[in-house]
Amino acid sequence: MNLDDVSYLIEGSLAELGVEPGLCRGDKPGQWNITYKGSTVWIDVFNFPQHPDKYYFQVMSPLTRIPDRNQEAFFKNCLEINHGLYGSWISIKADWAYVLSLREADNLDKSEIDATLDRVAFYSSDYFGKLTFKFEGSWDPKPNDKPVNFN
C-alpha cells in the first residue's frame, strides 16, 4: 500500500469517529493528531529513504512522563502491563512513556485502523489513570513538559 491508499483508509476511519480529517492533519503528509477517548493520539504513515515503497502505520499516544522517583518500579509495572496488552505496547522514548502500535501498511484495512485507534486511545487513558494513581508523588513539576513524537 502507498501513502495515498493508507491515508484514504485513515481519513475514512476518522470521519466515522466524527472527526474532520482535514482539521487534524499534521505538518507532513501522513500525519494526523486527534483527541479520542480522552487521549491525545498521533497517527503516522511513513517510509524510510532506503525503502521508499514500503510504508508503515503507527498509532501512538503519550501516556505519562517517566517519574522522577520510583523509576525501577514504574518500568517493571509497565513491563507487566505490556504482557496483557493486545496489538500495542508501552514504549519509552526520552523522558516519556507512550502506548504504541506499529506495523507494515501492507494489507492494512479500515477495520484494523478502527481497532488500533480504539485500542491505543483506551489503553492510554486507562493506564494513565492507573499509573499516576499508583505512583502519585513520584513526579516533580516541570514547566513546558511535552511529549516528543517519534517522527
Q: Could you tell me which of 47, 32, 45 has the C-alpha nearest to residue 121?
A: 32
Please state, in angstroms and rounded to a whole number, the distance separating the CA atoms of residues 11 and 52: 22
Report which DSSP code applies to 66: P
Helix (H) or strand (E) holding 54: strand 51-65
25 near 32, Cβ under 8 Å? yes
Please state, in angstroms and rounded to a whole number, the distance separating the CA atoms of residues 127 and 151: 23
Please state, in angstroms and rounded to a whole number, the distance separating the CA atoms of residues 46 and 48: 7
Angle at 43 between CA 10 and CA 104, to 5 degrees: 75
**Can you give the pLDDT at residue 149?**
63
Note down pLDDT in tens along the chain; length 151 residues.
999 999 999 999 999 999 999 999 999 999 999 999 999 999 999 999 999 999 999 999 999 999 999 999 999 999 999 999 999 999 999 999 999 999 999 999 999 999 999 999 999 999 999 999 999 999 998 877 767 665 5
